[in-house]
């Protein structure tokens, strides 16, 4: 079945208690995939283009559109991603968004999405302990944070960061912030595609359920080793309007290879190999859960 209208992708921002009114989309942009950055809720606060050659260019820095812009159907799908500037999320010192993070060193360094910690006057864990943002990469949508406390276990990486079609994936996180309680949530599925929207090779597709608040959570294989970082899913309402059909299980994660490159740039070498706890959802959950925690963005 073929559809002429473009899909919309909603990447998982940290759940927000309050948001600004939506910002109107730019009137015209050059050919490419239009990406809308979100600041912890449905209010768009910045935009950039993912060009056909793979580059990400902020809309205000993008070259002028052609005199006769290409037909929207001929351009890439319109997508929405999350990585707001600081001014978009200030709300008087209280929690304005939540996300998920996971330890990669026993000394307390952890990984999450950049959009989860962007624009926060303070980042804390679920117990209110301060978390320091060490580095953030808005293009990859990854951030390295320092919790300042030790971890008994970490999420381990594969000896070689590859993702295979059809393999098992488990996603850990805190969907919808604390609305469902403070307990860790795990969902399972398989790798259903080896690229993200528009053929983005830095992502892969899975049918393990993810929701706002899962942002930054680890997606691991059936041995507990990192496959990627949960980052988004198709926007159900946008796809329904465009096609008349609700998408089912179309979710995305940032590949572990991208996480490794990001960590290497910060001088961090993650642990590799199996957890030693066996395979299967129960054993993997027991091994991975102690390394995963919730983080809150305060305005």
Q: How far apart are CA 132 and CA 158, in angstroms?
A: 27
| Mean local confidence (pLDDT), 156-185 | 88
Answer whether residue 16 is part of any domain. no
Measured CA to CA in angstroms, residue 259 lies from 133, 188, 268 at distances of 16, 21, 11
Q: Would you place residue 245 in the very low, low, confident or very high pLDDT band (cuts 50, 70, 90)?
A: confident
b/e string for 29-39 if b means 16 or more Cβ within 10 A? bbebbbbbbbb
Are 103 and 288 in contact by the 8 Å Cβ rule? The answer is: no
In a domain, 78, yes or no: no
* Spatial distance between the Cα atoms of 122 and 116, rounded to a whole number of angstroms: 12
Which CA distances in Å does 116 have to 9, 94, 98, 113?
17, 15, 7, 5
Residue 204 lies in domain: 88-299
297: tokens are 């963005």
- 233 within a domain of the structure (yes/no): yes
Q: How confident is residue 49, by pLDDT bands cut at 50, 70 and 90? A: low
Residue 25: pLDDT over 70: no
CATH number, domain of 115, equals 2.40.10.120
**Residue 10 in domain:** no
- pLDDT at site 18: 30
* Both structure tokens of 214: 């899962």
Tokens of 198: 């528009």
Average pLDDT over residues 86-113: 78
Report whether 120 contacts 299 (CB < 8 A): yes
Percent of the chain past pLDDT 90, that is, above it, reads 50
Mean pLDDT of all residues in 173-178: 84
Q: Is residue 82 part of a domain?
A: no
Query: In this structure, is residue 290 part of a structural domain?
Result: yes
Q: Give the whole-number percent of the chain exceeding pLDDT 70.
A: 67
Q: What is the mean pLDDT of the chain?
A: 77
Among 111-120, 134-143, 167-176, 272-281, the range scoring the smallest mean pLDDT is 272-281
> What are the structure tokens assigned to 298, written together?
């305060």
Report the pLDDT value the prediction gives residue 288, as an integer from 0 to 100: 96
Nearest to 216 by CA among 114, 290, 296, 130: 114
| Residue 95 main-chain phi, psi, to 5 deg | -65, 125
Residue 89 clears pLDDT 80, i.e. is over it? no
Q: Is residue 117 part of a domain?
A: yes
Which residues make Cβ contacts (< 8 Å) with residue 89, sequence separation at least 6? 16, 39, 40, 96, 97, 118, 119, 120, 297, 299
**Best CA proximity match to 181, nearest among 24, 294, 14, 35:** 294
Residue 4: its pLDDT value, please?
Answer: 35
Structure tokens at 137: 């990469």
Least Cα distance to 84 among 35, 157, 51, 124 occurs for 35
Q: Quote the pTM value.
A: 0.71
Q: Under a CB-based contact definition with an 8 Å cutoff, are residues 209 and 251 in contact?
A: yes
Helices (H) and strands (E) in the chain, counts: 4, 18
- Asked, for residue 23, whether it belongs to a domain, the answer is no
Average pLDDT of span 85-102: 64
pLDDT of residue 28: 45
On the question of pLDDT at 29 being above 80, the answer is no
Instruction: Report the SS3 class of residue 136.
Output: strand
Write down the residue that tokens 């469902």 correspond to.
180
Instruction: For residue range 112-124, list pLDDT tens digits in order.
Output: 999 999 989 999 9
Domains of the chain: total = 1
């Amino acid at each position: 079945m073929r559809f002429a209208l473009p899909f919309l992708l909603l990447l998982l921002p940290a759940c927000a208690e309050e948001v600004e009114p939506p910002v109107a989309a730019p009137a015209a942009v050059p050919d490419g995939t239009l990406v809308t950055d979100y600041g912890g809720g449905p209010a768009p606060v910045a935009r950039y283009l993912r060009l056909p050659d793979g580059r990400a260019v902020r809309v205000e820095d993008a070259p002028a559109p052609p005199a006769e812009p290409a037909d929207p159907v001929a351009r890439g799908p319109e997508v929405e991603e999350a990585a707001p500037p600081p001014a978009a999320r200030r709300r008087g010192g209280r929690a304005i968004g939540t996300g998920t993070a996971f330890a990669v060193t026993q000394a307390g360094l952890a990984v999450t999405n950049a959009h989860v910690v962007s624009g926060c006057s303070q980042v804390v864990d679920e117990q209110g302990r301060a978390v320091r943002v060490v580095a953030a990469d808005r293009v990859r949508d990854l951030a390295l944070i320092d919790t300042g406390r030790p971890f008994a276990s970490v999420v381990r990486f594969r000896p070689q960061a590859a993702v295979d079609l059809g393999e098992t994936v488990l996603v850990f996180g805190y969907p919808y912030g604390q609305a469902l309680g403070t307990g860790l949530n795990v969902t399972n599925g398989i790798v259903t595609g080896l690229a993200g929207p528009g053929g983005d090779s830095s992502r892969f597709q899975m049918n393990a359920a993810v929701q706002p608040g899962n942002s930054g959570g680890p997606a691991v294989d059936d041995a507990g080793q990192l496959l990627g970082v949960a980052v988004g899913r198709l926007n159900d309402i946008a796809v329904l309007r465009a096609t008349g059909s609700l998408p089912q299980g179309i979710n995305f994660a940032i590949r572990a290879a991208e996480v490794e490159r990001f960590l290497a740039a910060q001088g961090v070498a993650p642990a590799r190999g199996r957890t030693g706890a066996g395979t299967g959802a129960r054993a993997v959950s027991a091994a991975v859960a102690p390394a995963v925690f919730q983080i809150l963005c305060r305005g």
